[in-house]
């Protein structure tokens, strides 16, 4: 069996960024693109930015490549960004007029869309751990000192949550172990299955109560405290980040801690829950940008609460002050499942991936009735010489593929790998390509259209000896 391989590889695709560019991960943290690995979950968004109410989406890294390529430096008031000439960004002239623009097509005065300021990953210091234990305990734990009929004091602490919040239980136990508090894990079976950690030692319970009531603290303790109380009592959905509680003094204390980090807080008026207890809600003001900063600064454990169906707001329009070529540099590109990701706070596109085509020729003596049926199902053609020729293909996600109109959306500005392919109709006939050729006569009249299987003018492959 002959096997003739023709590949459209992504080796020349230039949708790359500097290795130090910070990528927003799915848990709200920022990580250098050079440290992002295949299989990691990052934060993407709807590629079709013009659709109503575009949303943030979970995105999986499918591929990662380092390349030496001509680079550009984009200078803004928020710092410099280094990218390749083909790398695409969302630019805007208004909140309703967004489009994808390649780096080489940007100019001074162009407006990039930026939704957040990146923050290098914060560390889990000992003071942070103390604060986290205090916050999660005051928010959701049962703890205290009880006196029985014999006037003996009994000390107890229990934190119980359902399976969805198991990461919070595990983190609390790990932090407690780190500071010398030993907790026992238990499973409670009732109307709902609950996982809990508990301790009945006097010294351990007293330490946890002390941490829960600590108000005069440093920034690291405050950072951990807010993370703990959010894991216990917070939520983030529909673009709104809130912390709710019946303890109004506690909410005032949380507001004080948040203000130390520059967050603007809104305290709602009192409402009543199902049990008629008065409740107040604390909101983080500032939209999606401040919500992302909240997760980046405080490092809450519950990534489940970092709801990825939040509406992608209009962001900030950042003016380009200068753009210049800086020669060949080693850059990084990644391919994601949503075809998009957020780098250095900017909405950006991933690397383009193309297709691989295997052309198979089955020799005459190997052709059987079963093989004839098998390859016929795969667009195989039997020639006059008795040989069967077919195309086996594999398509990677193509960032320029318009599934609605079934055609290339950036044919004039396509990356280098696309510029040399396709050249003639024979290269796409019988493949799932959505492009097509129009053959015209000397007067410009269209006499024939030939294209890939996903084009409006699908034609089978034509093989020549």
Query: Is 223 a domain residue?
Result: yes
Q: In this structure, are 271 and 218 located in the same domain?
A: yes
Give me the mean pLDDT over the 352-379 stretch: 59
Do 167 and 39 have their domain in common? no
Q: Express each pLDDT in 192-224 by its tens digit.
A: 778 889 998 888 988 998 888 887 778 999 999
pLDDT for 147 equals: 76
252-287 per-position pLDDT tens digit: 889 999 999 999 988 887 887 776 788 888 888 888
What is the predicted pLDDT for the residue at 1? 31
Domain-ending residue, one of 241, 272, 305: 305
Residue, of 172 and 1, whose pLDDT is higher: 172
What DSSP string runs through 140-162? H-EEEEEE-TT--EEEEEEEEE-
Residue 118: pLDDT above 50? yes
Is 408 in contact with 387 (CB distance < 8 Å)?
Answer: no
pLDDT beyond 70 at 347: yes
pTM: 0.68
pLDDT at 71: 92
Instruction: Judge if 136 and 190 occupy the same domain.
Output: yes
294 lies in the same domain as 317 = no
Element (H, E) at 137: helix 126-140
Last residue of a domain, one of 289, 305, 321: 305
Note the residue count of the chain.
Answer: 465
Mean per-residue pLDDT for 174-178? 92
CATH code of the domain containing 169: 3.10.28.10
Give tens-digit pLDDT for 373-426.
655 555 566 777 777 666 544 344 455 555 455 555 655 555 444 554 555 566
- CATH at 74: 2.170.16.10
Q: Specify the 3-state DSSP secondary structure of 230.
A: helix
In a domain, 11, yes or no: no
Domain contains 9: no
What is residue 33's predicted lDDT score, i.e. its pLDDT?
A: 93
Same domain, yes or no: 68 and 163: no
Q: How many domains does the chain have?
A: 3
The Cα–Cα gap between 129 and 223 comes to 9
| 350 or 348, higher pLDDT | 348
Cβ atoms of residues 338 and 23 within 8 Å? no
Residue 382 lies in a domain: yes
Distance, in Å, from the CA atom of 312 to the CA atom of 331, rounded to the nearest integer, reads 28
Co-location of 134 and 243 in the same domain:
yes
272 and 140 within one domain: yes
Give the integer Cα–Cα distance in Å for 378 and 171: 53
- The winner for highest mean pLDDT among 10-14, 384-388, 433-437 is 384-388
Whether 246 and 171 have beta carbons less than 8 Å apart is answered as: no
The residue-averaged pLDDT of 105-126 equals 87
Find out whether 147 and 352 touch, Cβ atoms under 8 Å: no
pLDDT of 83 over the 60 cut: yes
Q: Which of 113-117, 122-126, 145-149 has the lowest mean pLDDT?
A: 145-149
342 and 373 co-located in one domain? no
Measured distance CA(66)–CA(386) in Å, rounded: 46
The token pair that represents 17 in the structure block: 């960024």
Domain match, 338 and 361 both: no
Residue 384's alpha-carbon distances to 71, 381, 464, in angstroms, are: 52, 10, 12
pLDDT given at position 301: 84
C-alpha–C-alpha distance, residues 63 and 399, integer Å: 14
Domain assignment of residue 1, yes or no: no
CA distances from 460 to 293, 395, 425 (A): 53, 18, 11
Whether residues 378 and 243 share a domain: the answer is: no
Q: Are residues 98 and 70 in the same domain?
A: yes
Domain that holds residue 407: 355-451
Cβ–Cβ under 8 Å, residues 184 and 198? yes
Percent of the chain scoring above 70 in pLDDT: 71
Residues 74 and 53 reside in one and the same domain: yes
Q: Is residue 439 part of a domain?
A: yes
Q: Would 2 be classed as within a structural domain?
A: no
Taking the C-alpha atoms of residue 435 and residue 354, their distance in angstroms, rounded to an integer, is: 13
In a domain, 460, yes or no: no
Query: Above 80 in pLDDT, residue 362?
Result: no
pLDDT in tens, 406-419: 555 655 555 444 55
Q: Which residue has the higher pLDDT, 5 or 157?
A: 157
Q: Residue 48 and residue 54: Cα distance in Å, rounded? A: 8
CA–CA distance, 418 with 423 (Å, rounded to integer): 10
């Amino acid at each position: 069996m002959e096997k003739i391989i023709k590949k459209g590889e992504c080796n020349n695709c230039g949708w790359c960024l500097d290795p130090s560019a910070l990528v927003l991960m799915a848990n709200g943290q920022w990580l250098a693109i050079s440290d992002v690995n295949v299989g990691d979950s990052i934060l993407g968004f709807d590629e079709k930015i013009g659709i109503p109410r575009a949303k943030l989406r979970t995105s999986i890294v499918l591929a990662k490549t380092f390349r030496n390529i001509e680079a550009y430096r984009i200078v803004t008031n928020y710092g410099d960004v280094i990218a390749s000439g083909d790398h695409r960004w969302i630019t805007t002239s208004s909140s309703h007029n967004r489009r994808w623009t390649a780096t080489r097509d940007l100019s001074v005065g162009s407006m990039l869309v930026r939704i957040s300021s990146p923050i290098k990953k914060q560390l889990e210091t000992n003071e942070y751990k103390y604060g986290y234990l205090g916050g999660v305990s005051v928010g959701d734990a049962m703890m205290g000192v009880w006196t029985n009929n014999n006037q003996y004091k009994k000390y107890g602490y229990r934190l119980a949550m359902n399976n969805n919040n198991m990461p919070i239980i595990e983190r609390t136990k790990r932090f407690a172990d780190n500071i010398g508090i030993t907790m026992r894990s238990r499973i409670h079976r009732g109307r709902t299955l609950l996982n809990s950690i508990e301790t009945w030692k006097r010294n351990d319970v007293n330490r946890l109560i002390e941490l829960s009531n600590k108000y005069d603290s440093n920034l690291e303790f405050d950072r951990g405290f807010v993370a703990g109380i959010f894991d216990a009592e917070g939520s983030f959905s529909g673009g709104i980040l809130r912390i709710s509680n019946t303890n109004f003094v506690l909410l005032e204390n949380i507001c004080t801690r948040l203000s130390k980090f520059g967050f603007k807080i809104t305290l709602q008026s009192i409402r009543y829950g199902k049990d008629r207890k008065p409740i107040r809600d604390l909101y983080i003001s500032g939209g999606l940008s401040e919500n992302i900063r909240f997760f980046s600064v405080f490092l809450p454990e519950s990534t489940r609460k970092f709801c990825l169906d939040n509406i992608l707001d209009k962001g900030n329009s950042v003016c380009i002050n200068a753009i210049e070529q800086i020669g060949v540099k080693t850059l990084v590109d990644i391919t994601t499942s949503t075809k998009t990701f957020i780098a250095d706070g900017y909405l950006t596109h991933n690397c383009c991936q193309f297709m691989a085509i295997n052309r198979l020729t089955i020799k005459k003596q190997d052709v059987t009735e079963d093989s004839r049926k098998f390859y016929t199902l795969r667009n195989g053609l039997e020639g006059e010489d008795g040989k069967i020729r077919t195309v086996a293909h594999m398509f990677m996600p193509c960032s320029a593929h318009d599934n609605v109109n079934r055609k290339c959306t950036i044919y004039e500005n396509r990356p280098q790998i696309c510029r040399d392919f396709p050249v003639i109709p024979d290269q796409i006939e019988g493949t799932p390509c959505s492009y097509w050729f129009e053959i015209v006569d000397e007067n410009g009249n269209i006499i024939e259209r030939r294209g890939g299987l996903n084009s409006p003018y699908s034609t089978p492959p034509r093989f020549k000896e």
